[in-house]
Amino acid sequence: MSGVAFLDSSVAACWRDGLIGSGAVQRRHWRTKVAHYQAVLELLEDGTPPRWEAVVARVQPKGSRSTFYDVTGASATHPLMAEYEADRGPGSNGSQIALAYRRGSAVDQLIDETKVWSFWSYREEWLIPWRDKGEVDRGSLADSLESIMRAWARDNPALARALDLAPPACAVEDLTLIHGQLPALRARLSLRAVLREAVDGPPEHIGDAAPKLAALIPAQRSSGTDELLLGLAESFPVSDRLPSLSTA
């Protein structure tokens, strides 16, 4: 079995696979979602605020208000965050991810899913060289995740900057799975720092630099408090350590 097979059964991977391959109705819904993701991406790249009316007007071949709210919002069909909220497996970080990405608007929820959709091809590219390996060094795997995140951000700067540089939720989940103990909120902050550096350049103060993700991987597992994580948390500016969970 591939040393990264555990990432193939992530919540995000199962959500995406289910929509793409579980019958005509779900496949049609996935195509509808993708049309809305593409519209959001184009609006952000054009510098147009992606309000719901603008998204509906941009959707091809034709958008509508009812379809928009079937894709995103409180009554959406198969939203990704609902899958995270329902995830209660051993060691699950799903509820933390859902909390970190709780949004106050349907458009913001759609932007979060657009980030996952846009990042997915990069994720697949990231995993290719690891699939023929047995045991993998998780520190190296985390470093390679950092590299692919930077590539995605540089290719999609407008989308990466949206919602205050919130990273794709699937990447946050991947980092928690690679680490095994890292809380989702810490993973999100670490990846946000990577995105900020990728799109805005190195920070002025060395203390604000994005930490290497491999540094989050402990040499040995411990049931006690992870002092490394506490030190990492203190290295972030206060505004990063205490993010507004309702925005980004």
Write out pLDDT tens, residues 119-140.
999 999 999 999 988 788 999 9
pLDDT value of position 204: 63
Residue 247 clears pLDDT 70, i.e. is over it: no
Tokens of 39: 């519209």
Residue 207 clears pLDDT 70, i.e. is over it: no
In contact, 225 and 232? CB cutoff 8 Å: no
Of 125, 129, 184, 122, nearest to 156 (Cα)?
A: 122
Residue 180 clears pLDDT 90, i.e. is over it: no
pLDDT value of position 58: 97
pLDDT in tens, 78-103: 999 999 999 876 667 898 999 999 99
Tokens of 110: 């759609």
Tokens 């991947």 -> residue: 174
Task: Spell out a b/e string for 150-165, using b for 16 or more CB atoms within 10 Å of the CB, else e.
Answer: bebbeebbebbbbbeb
Tokens of 201: 């350049």
User: Averaged over 200-225, what is the pLDDT?
Assistant: 57
Residue 164 clears pLDDT 70, i.e. is over it: yes
pLDDT in tens, 38-86: 999 999 999 999 999 999 999 999 999 999 999 999 999 999 999 999 9
Tokens of 189: 């902050």
Query: How open is the CA angle 100-93-153, to the nearest 5 degrees?
Result: 55
pLDDT value of position 103: 95
Tokens of 64: 């509508």
In whole angstroms, give the CA distance from residue 149 to residue 171.
8
In whole angstroms, give the CA distance from residue 137 to residue 21.
32
- pTM, full prediction: 0.83
pLDDT value of position 43: 98
Distances, alpha carbon 44 to alpha carbons 4, 40, 115, in Å = 33, 6, 12
pLDDT band at 244 (very low <50, low <70, confident <90, very high): very low
Q: What is the mean pLDDT of the chain?
A: 84
Question: What phi, psi does 190 have (nearest 5°)?
Answer: -65, -45
Residue 196 clears pLDDT 50, i.e. is over it: yes
* 248 vs 23, higher pLDDT: 23
Tokens of 213: 């993700």
pLDDT value of position 234: 37
Q: Which residues, including other chains, have CB under 8 Å from residue 171's CB and lie 6 or more apart? A: 119, 123, 145, 149, 191
Residue 226 clears pLDDT 70, i.e. is over it: no
